[in-house]
Amino acid sequence: MAAMATTSRLFKTGSRNTWSVVSWRNAGVFSVTLVALLAGVYLLWNVESNVETRYGRRREGKSVNGSGVLAGVFERAGHQVISRTTLNPAMERAQTIVWIPDDFAPPTTLQSEFLEKWLSSRAGRTVIYVGRDFDAGPEYWEQIEPRVERILLQETRRRWAQAQAAYDYERVGVADKAEAQWFTTQRSVAQGQAGALAGPWTEGLELEKTGIVVGHNLLPESSGERYRVEQLLSVDEKPFVTRLRAPEWPGSQVILISNGSFLLNFPLVNSEHRKLAGRLVSQCQQGLCVFLETGPGGPGIDNRESREPGLTGFEVLTVWPISPIVIHLVALGLLACFLMFPIFGNPRTLAEEDASDFGEHVQALGDLLYRVNDKTHARRQINAYRKMMYGESASEFPLTTEVAGGTDDAYQEGQTTAAESSTPSGSMATEMALEQAQQAVQGAQRAGYNLDFEIESLQTVDKIIREIRNSKTVISTASDQVFQLGCYAGETMRRFHGGDWRHPDESDLYRMIGPHMLVVLSSAVEVKESRPQILNPIGKALNMLENDSAGTLVSYHEMVRRSDASESNMTGPL
């Protein structure tokens, strides 16, 4: 019954909380922390030590020379906007190409022919070409100079001078006259503010509020009858925005703009410039708009077939309806991270578990057996342990608790029989010890040692135990090995002196000596009235594993031999 009670405690289930409850106080601390973090990120994101001046890039939203604001105007008008750096057959899907090159040289013949072929393949297409003769950097520093503090005035003027010098250096190398297929560039040494504006696009403009800069002129090709030229905006009687049409590309057009002084990011701060940008966008049919971003030499031409242009990389995350979904998912991900990983409040020291508490080991073993979810296997393991340690029979711990039919009297009779047979006999202990000793012999052979049950082999056993102790093997594994070696040592001495194996439960005397099986010498068996001479080789071997100063089995046996040789009446446990 005690065994059954042990089993019921062993398989008792329990519940453990794996998630702690987040209190309202912790939630409030988290909210404040999250707001502070977002505010810090926002401030760091917006701190700029230098003004970005990269030219003609749509995705350079902070550059004063970028084209991101113009791309936004296209998007609000219903266009889908992407960026490309080369001309290839995938452009067939596009309806509009906006080319704002970072290059004073005009397009090459090959580039112009590619674009004209693209214009002729479908009606309603538009190419917008913007000349390079403008840089918003110097204008930016010039306009913010009246607004800065006096302590920053000198630094502002220095940066204006640097920006102006860099732009003049690029501009000075332009040829006086450069001819292209659509226009001829007429160089102008000086730049200045536009005077009189004329043309259809001036309707509704407050001309005095515009800030268009005049420099190099793009004079459209007007010789012959190939192109029909229309002036949309002229400055001081010189063309500034020109439309070209040709019979070869019916319904399509090329719009030439001398420079980007009303199209780049910083100039579009001016409300009148935004009106002009809106009129430019209104000339284009809705569809895919490609911003061609190029440097010196212009775009490369790739005539190989490739996939159609579309959104690439992180651009996919910026398109409705994906963009708001992504924003919410990122916010929820941050919230989950803060809820799962940080620990709010004052740190506390957790109670340490005592490794010497035997009850914790029993509980751990019970948990492992419970996780197997097999009661029969668990009972079999417990039976094997009890048989190995105490020599008990399997009937001490039955594999099933159900009574397969019969009356209560039969059940009680079976329980009584099991109780009577639970006391192990000497023959059972001998059989168990011999089995363990044979396992020790086999293990030693695998390790290269020979154990032959001769008394001299005790030296080999001592050596093996020392090696196990020095190797720092896991305690449970080492104990099993040394237990088998103790059985071997006891069986060797029993054969040498004569005697029997006994189980501790056979008498109170054996139980007082120790929990392991003992060897009772044959002389003591015959003399019943005297105190027997008893050996405890298993306990000796286990002591040697735990304590280096516990002696050896050889010395232990020598003590037994001296005791026999003295023929004295000294009996008792050795």
Q: What is the DSSP string of 257-269?
A: ES--TTTSTTGGG
- Looking at the DSSP assignment, which residues form a beta bridge with residue 445? none
On the question of pLDDT at 67 being above 50, the answer is: yes
- C-alpha Rg value of the chain to the nearest Å: 48
Q: Is residue 211 domain-shared with residue 258, that is, in the same domain?
A: yes
Q: Quick check: is 470 in a domain?
A: yes
Residues 493 and 27: their CA atoms lie apart, in Å, by 72
Q: What is the pLDDT of residue 218?
A: 87
More confident site: 129 or 168: 129
Q: Is residue 449 domain-shared with residue 477, that is, in the same domain?
A: yes
**pTM, entire model:** 0.49
Segment among 145-149, 402-406, 492-496 with least mean pLDDT: 402-406
- The string of DSSP codes covering 352-387 is PP-TT-HHHHHHHHHHHHHHHT-HHHHHHHHHHHHH
pLDDT one-digit tens code per residue, 197-219: 899 998 888 888 888 988 888 88
Q: Quick check: is 573 in a domain?
A: no
Residues 141 and 215: their CA atoms lie apart, in Å, by 20
Report yes or no: 136 and 264 within 8 Å, Cβ to Cβ. yes
Q: Is residue 146 domain-shared with residue 287, that is, in the same domain?
A: yes
Residues 561 and 568: their CA atoms lie apart, in Å, by 12
On the question of pLDDT at 342 being above 80, the answer is: no
What is the chain's mean pLDDT, rounded? Answer: 78
The answer to whether the peptide bond before residue 321 is cis (omega within 30 degrees of 0) is yes
Q: What is the pLDDT of residue 3?
A: 40
On the question of pLDDT at 103 being above 80, the answer is: yes
On the question of pLDDT at 156 being above 50, the answer is: yes
CA distances from 98 to 7, 74, 325 (A): 82, 11, 30
Measured at the CA of 502, the angle between CA 501 and CA 504, to 5 degrees, comes to 145
Mean pLDDT to the nearest integer, 281-301: 92
Domain of 262, CATH number, reads 3.40.50
Q: Is residue 367 domain-shared with residue 440, that is, in the same domain?
A: no
- Looking at the DSSP assignment, which residues form a beta bridge with residue 245? 228
Q: Quick check: is 59 in a domain?
A: no
Q: What is the pLDDT of residue 374?
A: 78
pLDDT one-digit tens code per residue, 296-331: 888 988 876 544 455 556 777 776 678 788 888 889
Q: What is the pLDDT of residue 9?
A: 39
Residues 397 and 375: their CA atoms lie apart, in Å, by 12
Helix axes 375-390, 358-372, angle to 10 degrees: 140
Report yes or no: 514 and 490 within 8 Å, Cβ to Cβ. no
Q: Is residue 159 domain-shared with residue 104, that is, in the same domain?
A: yes
Q: Quick check: is 285 in a domain?
A: yes
Q: What is the pLDDT of residue 22?
A: 43
Measured at the CA of 280, the angle between CA 277 and CA 282, to 5 degrees, comes to 110
Mean pLDDT to the nearest integer, 553-563: 85
DSSP annotation of 433 reads H
Q: Is residue 179 domain-shared with residue 92, that is, in the same domain?
A: yes
Q: Is residue 371 domain-shared with residue 489, that is, in the same domain?
A: no
- Looking at the DSSP assignment, which residues form a beta bridge with residue 98? 128, 291
Q: Is residue 407 domain-shared with residue 490, that is, in the same domain?
A: no
Q: What is the pLDDT of residue 125?
A: 96
Q: What is the pLDDT of residue 387?
A: 67
On the question of pLDDT at 37 being above 80, the answer is: no
Q: Is residue 215 domain-shared with residue 111, that is, in the same domain?
A: yes
Report yes or no: 225 and 247 within 8 Å, Cβ to Cβ. no
- Considering its fold, how many domains does the chain have in total? 3
Q: Quick check: is 353 in a domain?
A: no
What share of the chain has pLDDT > 70, as a percent?
74
On the question of pLDDT at 528 being above 50, the answer is: no
Q: What is the pLDDT of residue 194?
A: 83
The number of CA neighbours under 13 Å toward the Cβ of 383 is 15
Q: Which structural domain, as residue segments, surrounds residue 462?
A: 426-566
Residues 543 and 521: their CA atoms lie apart, in Å, by 22
CA distances from 144 to 45, 62, 475 (A): 21, 16, 78
Segment among 14-18, 45-49, 368-372 with least mean pLDDT: 14-18
Q: Measure CA of the first residue to CA of the last residue in the chain; give whole Å.
A: 35
Residues 443 and 432: their CA atoms lie apart, in Å, by 17
Select from 285, 301, 317 the last residue of a domain.
Answer: 301
On the question of pLDDT at 97 being above 50, the answer is: yes
Select from 301, 322, 349 the last residue of a domain.
Answer: 301
Contacts of 498 (CB under 8 A, 6+ apart): 521, 522, 523
Is 105 in a helix, a strand, or coil? coil
Report yes or no: 122 and 249 within 8 Å, Cβ to Cβ. no
Burial 88-107 (b: 16+ CB within 10 A, else e): bebbeebbbbbbbbbbbbbb
Q: Is residue 398 domain-shared with residue 502, that is, in the same domain?
A: no
Q: Residue 367: pLDDT band by 50, 70, 90 thresholds?
A: confident
Residues 433 and 431: their CA atoms lie apart, in Å, by 6
Report yes or no: 241 and 256 within 8 Å, Cβ to Cβ. yes
Q: What is the pLDDT of residue 200?
A: 92
On the question of pLDDT at 526 being above 80, the answer is: no
Q: Is residue 537 domain-shared with residue 445, that is, in the same domain?
A: yes
On the question of pLDDT at 511 being above 60, the answer is: yes
The number of CA neighbours under 13 Å toward the Cβ of 366 is 15
Segment among 23-32, 382-391, 489-498 with least mean pLDDT: 23-32
Q: Residue 168: pLDDT band by 50, 70, 90 thresholds?
A: confident
More confident site: 419 or 463: 463
Structure tokens at 501: 């194996």
On the question of pLDDT at 418 being above 70, the answer is: no
Q: Quick check: is 296 in a domain?
A: yes
CA distances from 461 to 318, 429, 497, 514 (A): 76, 21, 18, 21
Select from 369, 392, 420 the last residue of a domain.
Answer: 420
Q: What is the pLDDT of residue 75?
A: 93
Q: Quick check: is 547 in a domain?
A: yes
Largest CA distance in the chain: 142
Helix (H) or strand (E) holding 256, with range, is: strand 253-257
Q: Is residue 536 domain-shared with residue 555, that is, in the same domain?
A: yes
Q: Quick check: is 171 in a domain?
A: yes
Q: What is the pLDDT of residue 556?
A: 86
